Amino acid sequence: MLEVRNVGLTYPAINSHGPVVALKGVNLTIKQGDFVVALGASGCGKTTLLSLMAGFMSPSEGELNLGGHRIDGPGADRGVVFQKHALLPWLSVMENTEFGLKLRGVSRSERREKAAKNLALVGLQDFHNHMIYQLSGGMQQRVGIARALTCDPEMLLMDEPMAALDALTRETIQELLLKIWSVSDKMFFFITHSVEEALFLGSRLIVMSPRPGRITHTYDLDFNRRFLESGDSRAIKSSPDFIKMRETILGIIYGDERAGQKEEFVHV
Ligand SMILES: Nc1ncnc2c1ncn2[C@@H]1O[C@H](COP(=O)(O)OP(=O)(O)OP(=O)(O)O)[C@@H](O)[C@H]1O
């Protein structure tokens, strides 16, 4: 279980810009098997929250605990999938996928076996020896997912992993992610700007607002389970309850975006 308790994060002043209160009073609990998706206007602190969960930085206030232990740096119990540029272009698909295990000193045969299993899970079993530049954007993102899974983390953290992909590839990888989620007991934390993607993927949706960044709305969802039962994503995304929810969430986010255009960010 991941617990975020009363977390605040203030970035220090840069030149003439004062400090920025990126997060204030954030509370969130993510349990095994939860797929939590974060949505919110630009600058509301989504990436900051993910970075704290990843241990890339420490909170100014409050604490984050994973499995009862305070997060005080990056760890193999958390795998991160970024939007792009996170693969090593001079290594092959297999070498990228096994990289984390290699750093941990795992034997070649064991890490190859684990990497091959996860490359098969994302449909790249025939591409072990390809170089990264020989793959499409969607395939590269599949390698990123396989790489994160290969260290067998308790939690997968994903910061807009589909943002750079075309619509069709994006839908295919959304469906792939749900299939991976359904056969694992991992915690997923996923950031997106797409309301449709958030509703489709999440078992819980948090909506964040800026100035200062905080969680303002939480929704439990079951569109992902309905997809896993029916396999028909288009039917789910065009269903009346999906569309109604999409409009509600869009109303909240557009309200925040418009307010943001009128106000300066809060400085302390
Ligand atoms: N390194 C930094 N130094 C100073 N301020 C920062 C830094 N990183 C982010 N910020 C500020 O903190 C706030 C939250 O940023 P963050 O990137 O977490 O938001 P976000 O919701 O992920 O935004 P987006 O949706 O645009 O990616 C913003 O006001 C941003 O300008």
pLDDT by residue (tens digit) across 85-122?
Answer: 688 989 999 999 999 999 989 999 999 999 999 999 89
Dist. CA 111 → ligand 1 center (Å): 36
Q: Looking at ligand 1, which residue's alpha carbon is closest to its atom 26?
A: 42
pLDDT mean over 69-82:
92
Tell whether ligand 1 has an atom less than 6 A from the beta carbon of residue 219: no
Instruction: State whether the beta carbon of 48 lies less than 6 angstroms from ligand 1.
Output: yes
Cα 43 to ligand 1 centroid, rounded to whole Å = 5
Higher pLDDT, 254 or 199: 199
Sheet with 2-11, edge to edge strand ranges:
20-30, 2-11, 61-66, 69-70
Confidence of residue 260 (pLDDT cuts 50, 70, 90): low
24 touches ligand 1 (CB under 6 Å): no
Predicted pLDDT of residue 268: 36
| pLDDT tier for residue 255 given thresholds of 50, 70 and 90 | confident
| Closest ligand 1 atom, residue 48 Cα | 18
Q: Distance between CA atoms of 30 and 16, rounded to whole angstroms?
A: 38
Distance (angstroms) between ligand 1 centre and the Cα of 148 equals 24
Stretch 206-216: mean pLDDT, rounded?
93
User: What value does the mean pLDDT take over residues 171-185?
Assistant: 92
Calculate what percentage of the chain has a pLDDT beyond 70: 95
Q: What integer pLDDT is reported at residue 261 of this predicted model?
A: 63
**265 Cβ closer than 6 Å to some ligand 1 atom:** yes
Q: What is the pLDDT of residues 16-53, one digit of tens each?
A: 778 999 999 999 999 999 999 999 988 999 999 999 99
Q: How far is the CA of 73 from the centre of ligand 1 (A)?
A: 20
Report whether 207 contacts 217 (CB < 8 A).
Answer: yes
Range ranked top by mean pLDDT from 26-30, 151-155, 249-253 = 26-30
Q: Give me the pLDDT at residue 267, please.
A: 40
Residue 49 Cα to ligand 1 middle (Å): 10
Residue labelled with tokens 């994302």: 122
Q: Which atom of ligand 1 is nearest to the CA of 213?
A: 14
Q: Which ligand 1 atom is the nearest neighbour of the CA of 160?
A: 27
3-state secondary structure the chain: CEEEEEEEEEECCECCECCEEEEEEEEEEECCCCEEEEEECCCCCHHHHHHHHHCCCCCCEEEEEECCEECCCCCCCEEEECCCCCCCCCCEHHHHHCHHHHHCCCCHHHHHHHHHHHHHHCCCCCCCCCEHHHCCHHHHHHHHHHHHHHCCCCEEEEECCCCCCCHHHHHHHHHHHHHHHHCCCCEEEEECCCHHHHHHHCCEEEEEECCCCEEEEEEECCHHHHHHHHCCHHHHHCCHHHHHHHHHHHHHHHHHHHHHHHCCCCEC
For all residues of the chain together, what is the average pLDDT?
A: 91
20 Cα: distance to centroid of ligand 1 (angstroms): 9
- Domains along the chain? 1-77+169-268 (3.40.50.300), 85-152 (no CATH)
Does 238 contact ligand 1 (Cβ within 6 A)?
no
Q: Give the pLDDT confidence score for residue 82 in this predicted structure.
A: 82
State the sign of the Cα–Cα–Cα–Cα dihedral 260, 174, 81, 127: negative
* Residue 83 in contact with ligand 1 by CB distance below 6 A: no
Pocket test for ligand 1, best of 7, 11, 265, 267 (most atoms within 8 A of CB): 11
Pocket perturbation via mutation, ligand 1, pick of 44, 157, 208, 263 by most ligand atoms within 8 A of CB? 44
Distance 6 CA to ligand 1 centre (A): 19
